[in-house]
Every structure is written in C-alpha cells, then in structure tokens.
Structure 1
Amino acid sequence: MALLHVRNLSIDIHGIRPLDGISFSLDKGQILGIVGESGSGKSLTALTIMGLLPLIGGRIERGSVHFDGVDLTRLPEPDFRKLRGKRIAFITQNPMTSLDPVMRVGAQIDQVGSLHLGLDAKAAQARSIEIMEKLRIPEAATIYHHYPHQLSGGMKQRIVIAMALAADPDLIIADEPTTALDVTIQAQIVDLLAELVRERGVALILITHDMGVVAQICDRVVVLYAGRIAESHGVQAIFANPRHPYTRALIRCIPREDTPPGSLVGIPGAVPSVAHYPQGCRFHPRCERRGSPCAATVPALLRSDSGGELACHFPEDQA
C-alpha cells in the first residue's frame, strides 16, 4: 500500500467547493509534482493533507486521505498534532514570512526536536546544527545564533527545510519552495530537495507552477485546473505526450534556449474564480479544442492502460 493515498477528495469552504474529486498516491522515495496556475487548488490540497483546512473555515465534504494506513480525515486533532511536523512535514511558500522574526533560527529548529523527539536543549541544538551542516549551510554553528533578518532568502529557505527535517519525517510537502528566490538559488534548493529524497528515502510532494522544475526532479505529475485533475501520469509520459490541452499549453509556456524571440506562447484568459466555475469542463472557455459537449458535461477522469489519467472530451491524439 502507498504511503499516502488521496481518494476522491472534495472540500467545502463556506458553501463553495474549490477541490472536487482529487485522487493520487505516493510512496517513499518518490517525488510527486502538483502543477497548475495560481487558483488551481494546489495549496488547498496541501492544507487538507496537513489537517489545516479548519483554520480557513473549510471542511472535507467527501473522500479520504490515508497516510500509512490511517485515514487522516477521521483523525482527532490531538492525534494529528503528533503526526504533523514529525511524520508529515510542511515547507511553506515564503521563507521571508515563515520564520519568527524575534527568535533565533537555531531555536526555531530546536523546537521541532524538543517537541517531537523529546530532546533536551543540548541534544536539540546538536541535532539542529548537524542538519544545517547536511544542508550545506556554511558556518552552521554561527548561523544557528542568527535572527531571520540577518540571512538571505536562500539561507532562510534552508532553515525552513531544516525545520521540516528535524524530526526525520516520512513525507514532506513543499508548497512552491522556490517562489521568492532568484534563479540560481532556486536551482540549488531544487537539487537539495531531490538529494534529500535519494539519501533519506522520504516521499516528497512538490507544489509548483514551474513545469521546468517538474521535468527536472519529479517521478509523477498531477495537473490541476480549477480544483479538478486535468491529467496525471509519469513525468516522462507527460512531457513526451501531453494529451490534455491544458497540460500541452503549460508545457508550451516553458522558455527554451532555441525559442525565437517573441514566439513564446501564453495561455489566453485566466483561471476562473472559485465562486464562478463554468459548467462542464472548467477549462473549456480557454481551450482551443473545445466542442459542444465541453460546456455542458463534466469529462470523466479515465485511467489508461499505461497508468495515466485524463479528463477531456477531445484529448490530443496519442503519439
């Protein structure tokens, strides 16, 4: 059985359903990329898995989230707190605002070891510095005593990753961990996450809008659009033969070295507001392949013999 298995997950926030029928699974040593434009439901998926949905007034309407055989949707909050941070870790989107500005960064890492591993102050500090060194933070023993404002954006992100690793989790959810960083630091953080999966055998969910990053390190891809899965498959199959028009459009947006100036193609329109999702296929107002069924009927998410899933009335022909 997979370490994480999400089945037919739908959530409700004040009478609105921003996630509708989401399903995927993940095992240790694998990296799952969840991609889509802003507003597609990527971060909401992460919050739901982490059990943080009630903080924004949401609830699970139907479906299940099984982690190591336990249905997290039925887990009491006191039991969830024992998992959250220990076996399931969360790397937040913006390291600039994720750290307590009046607390030394080392002490913030220590808290995880003290709370979840029962370490005393000396042992927690030693473990924190050891993790910082493994993350290639120079002069870790000195940086340990710094405040967040004394660190660069890339260094803050490494501290946030150190906090996620402090209790040696089985699953890490990284919500756009490179958004606020420059390109060079982005590449370093992505390489670091991939290395952690290889060395520690953890499962990683990488939430991003960057298809280039997905192509670089992910094993499988889930393409979300307006709260529904458009397509999912292994990363090689997705890039070699994207069958959903939205997946194909996302890949066309990736700049390449041989792309002629002015020829980069964007996706017309925008992701619809959660309060005004269109009927039928939610992508159809922006789709170049739309036909009469698209505006009236929700396309079923069908599984192929190769293990992919696709929800489209008029998919691209297979290569």
Structure 2
Amino acid sequence: MTLPQRPLIDVLNQINAYNTAKPFFRENREKTETWHIADFEVNTAKTKAVLLFSRSDQLAADQAVSEPASKHFSVTAKQGRQGNASSAHLAIRLKPVKPNVYLTVLEEAIGISTKDIESILALIVTKAKGANKTFFQVKDPSGTVRNARYKFAFVGHPSDDFTADLEESTINGIELVDLRARDQVFDEDKYTVEKSKTIKLALRDKDFPIWDALRSVGKRANKEQLDSLRVKFTDAQKSSYTVELDANTLRLVHEDRFVKKERLTGFKTRLNTGCDKIVPEIRDRLFALI
C-alpha cells in the first residue's frame, strides 16, 4: 500500500539526528574498510542539502613522499586501525523533480560508490527507526497507523557519449529480473526459496533503434511491476559490457563508467584525498550544478 509522502529533508534530519547522537560506521566483512557520514548541511534557504561520506581503508598502501633533488624519500606508516581516507560530497536538491525523485550530484571518490551510500543510508534509517518510532509511524488513506520504510536508490543520467555509442553497438541481449516472489518457498517439501526470475529478450531486428526498443521494454516492465532491465552489448572497439537501467526512467543503476559527469577545476582551496568536514568550495560548486 502506498503511504503518504514525507519530505526528504525530514528523513535526512532524522538520519542526521541519529548519526550525531550515535555516529554510525559501516564496516566490510573483514573490518578493514569503514564508511560513515562525516558531516551534513542544509543551506539557509532549505532548498539544498549536502552530506559528506568518508571511507577509511586499512589495507591501502602507506603514503610515500619524496624530493628527488635532495634525495629525500619517506613513508608514513599507518598506526593501529588507521586507514587511508577518501571522501565524497553528495549534494541534493530538496524540491522533488517528481514524486519521491530528487536531483543529486555525487563527487567521485575512491571506494565510495552509490551502492555504498545506499547501504550506509539504509542501515542508519533502520537504526533511526528504533530510536524514534513515532516519526516512522504514518496513517494510510484509511486512517490505519502503519510503520513506514524509507529506501534510497540512486540512478545516473546516461552520458551523451554512452547513448550515442549504444546505438552503434551490437546488442547481445536484454534481461528483466523479477524479484516479486523473492524468498518465497518454491518446492512442495520447502527445501528451497525463490531468489529471482530472469526474462531474456532479443531484438527482432538488429536495425531497430535501441533506445526506442528500451523505452518499449521499459513500459511493459512497468506494467509488470519489474523495476530494472539489463542490457548486454559489444561496442565498436569489441569491448563487452552489461549495464543495468531503471525500467521507468532508463537511467543507469550503480554504474560509474557511463554516467553523465562534469569536471570541476580551478579550486582555490587545497583539496586532499579525504576530509572530515564539508569543504565550502566543493559544496558551492556542486550546489551550482543542481
């Protein structure tokens, strides 16, 4: 059942309140990498927000510095559980472009992907729900109080080069993944559960415009309540790829190679690989893009 919408800023404030009171750290299974939200800001007009995500990697190589003219060379070794730091600013326009969809721009950083950010936010939302149950209780259209669940999903605008290249590529297949019966018992004796169903498609004619075909497939997928489609293709350089697209928008899901990017240069502030506070110059440059 669809529950009443809640402004994104309200959810972000709950995340920030929990993270401020009890900082949350997500670790990998080996506990050698850590991700967390290091900082959060909303502009004075309350139209844009920025979150700073940071990562610490204990297994990364130690930092070496040198000055060849003086024959200086030294390595700064990490101590204890220290790790090499990287950070990424995530800027969000708080007015939705359509229900529950917000324009976002992410700074590219080593080891911080949209998938990592989704995971961090999902875990903190779960923690915040336990700390403030009232906020996560909303009335459905019938007046019944229900527990709301909030999920963050990032999709990327395809770059102009990607859309053009895909038209010149050989399409090896299109797949739709059906997760609606996920974890339901499959066999009579209850030994197995269903994880997914895959629907495999092929173009009837190789000369069909690929984006027209994908739009048509996306429309059918939406009717069937299938959220995503995968496209397998070989480009003009004979390199093979598989990309996942959101069926509704045809935007890229968890994809860094082919998303639209903007190169920012000429910073007055000296930028390091990581930071523990939002850098105003980066924040302002990202805000200008949204």
Normalised to the residue count of structure 1, the TM-score between the two structures is 0.23
More strand by share: 2
Structure number with bigger Rg: 2
Report the TM-score when normalising by structure 2: 0.24
Structure with larger RCO (C-alpha < 8 A, sep 6+)? 1
